[in-house]
Amino acid sequence: MTGTVVGSYTIPYNSTDPCNLDGWSAAADTAASADVNLAAYARKVYVMPRSSCPASGAGDVGGARTRAWVFTCAVPDVYAHELG
């Protein structure tokens, strides 16, 4: 696996806001687009602080372009599961 790590970025949401993966991703992508050509990457992983989402992580299933979100950063198994 190869890739580029960028960030951290502050997005205009609070961790107590309703779980909004699409909104958070769009805001993070907007912030990151100044540092990297996001179109060059088919897979994106968003490492986020604990939030209102009821899981340690989430991920798209299938497709040519997928995203994964990790909310429990200190647990390597979450990364493995979401990237799996």
Of 43, 49, 52, the residue nearest 71 (C-alpha): 49
Report residue 73's pLDDT band, with 50, 70 and 90 as the boundaries.
confident
CA distances from 23 to 3, 74, 75, 77 (A): 23, 24, 24, 25
Tally of CB atoms within 10 A around 24? 19
Confidence (pLDDT) at 36: 93
* pLDDT for 24: 93
- Distance, CA of 40 to CA of 56 (rounded, Å): 27
Task: Give 13-69 pLDDT, tens digit per residue.
Answer: 888 888 999 999 999 999 999 999 999 999 999 998 888 888 899 988 888 899 999
Residue 1 has pLDDT above 80, yes or no: no
9-18 per-residue burial string, b: 16 or more CB within 10 A, e: under 16? eebebeeeee
